[in-house]
Amino acid sequence: MTPASSFHLIGLIGAGIAGSLSPVLHEREAAAQGLRYAYRTLDIDELGLAPGDAGQLARDAVRLGYTGLNVTHPCKQAVITGLDALSDDARELGAVNTVTVRHDAAHDVGSRQGDRLTGRNTDHTGFRAALAEGLPGAALGTVVLVGAGGAGSAVARALLDAGARRLLVADADASRAQQLAARLGPHPGPAAHPSRVSAVVLEDVPARIAEADGVVNATPIGMVGHPGTPFDASVLTSRHWLADVVYRPLETQLVKAALAAGCRVLDGGWMAVSQAADSFELFTGLPADRSRMRAHFLELAASAAGKDLS
């Protein structure tokens, strides 16, 4: 674990991330704890790189002094090629959003060649914590998950760990949904009862929602630059709960439709804060004040929304 007194230089690898709230969110929490902490974006678009270059970019960043990395779309799977190890959940999900760095002082003293990069997944732990805190007691008999990419994989694992008995996964790429369902397969829930995970075609989502307790959007649809909803939101009723992983804007078109239908709603800010707090703790070895981070996030999101509208 990195000593708290060290200087923390953290990077975010992804594409189109100039508007990310992560840098300020991390730096504010670090400042509140008296830490020397800087957070920078490493945008592959600006660097002229492809998603497949993410693994080498991670290694290059650490060689240049970065002490930890976050990873976002579209690099969560591609970054794995540059890592030395994976946590169990990252290996199962095939997706990484946090990279921790350990330097072996006994190896290649005086260089960065002894750095060991480990990929982890705080999207998974973050959504599970967000669900418990933001939607306590949510029914988990049948849940429809739209989106089977890196975020969708993490959400699926979190839902199963939380006790979902039946998980229906859909994606615009049907094969990706099928692969996720096959990878998770029979999954022992908290009471050791296996959960059922099945892939469904995107066109069937409205009909499947009719028989579900809750719905999660784990696609980019609804975020700034990607307007709309991932399915016909008119099928939502007051007996459903809805979660969205998109946090910019905080009130996506889907969230607005769900609120209008009387649904209990978990906006994307809950997961954003929870996964950021988990990453912060991995980077620093110190507990994050999650309530403070949530308050900072809401302030930042409100400010960002004003800029988006101007």
- Give the chain's count of helices (H) and strands (E): 11, 13
Question: Is 76 a catalytic site residue?
Answer: yes
Q: 28 Cβ partners below 8 Å, 6+ apart?
A: 293, 296
Please give the CATH architecture assigned to the domain spanning 125-266.
3-Layer(aba) Sandwich (3.40)
**Would you list which residues are annotated within the binding site for shikimate?**
20-22, 72, 97, 123, 247, 275
Q: Of these residues, 8, 59, 76, 157, which one is catalytic?
A: 76
Cis peptide bond upstream of 227, omega within 30 = no
Asked if 7-120+271-309 and 125-266 have one fold, the answer is yes
Domain boundaries, given as residue ranges, for the chain: 7-120+271-309, 125-266
Question: Can you give the pLDDT of all 310 residues of the chain as single tens digits?
Answer: 445 558 999 999 999 999 899 999 999 999 999 999 999 999 999 999 999 999 999 999 999 999 999 999 899 999 999 999 999 989 988 889 999 999 765 444 333 457 999 999 999 999 999 999 999 999 999 999 999 988 899 999 999 999 999 999 999 999 999 999 998 876 555 554 556 999 999 999 999 999 999 999 999 999 888 899 999 999 999 999 999 999 989 999 999 999 999 999 999 999 999 999 999 999 999 999 999 999 999 999 988 776 654 3
**Would you list which residues are annotated within the binding site for NADP(+)?**
88, 147-151, 245, 268
Helix, strand, coil percentages for the chain (3-state, nearest 5)? 45, 20, 35
- Global confidence as pTM: 0.86
The class that CATH gives domain 7-120+271-309 is alpha beta
Q: Are 120 and 89 in contact (CB under 8 A)?
A: yes
**Would you list which residues are annotated within the binding site?**
20-22, 72, 88, 97, 123, 147-151, 245, 247, 268, 275
The whole-angstrom separation of Cα 252 and Cα 243 is 11
What is the side-by-side order of every strand in the sheet holding 166-170?
A: 187-188, 194-199, 166-170, 142-146, 214-217, 241-244, 264-266
Closest CA to 279 of 67, 103, 112, 88: 67
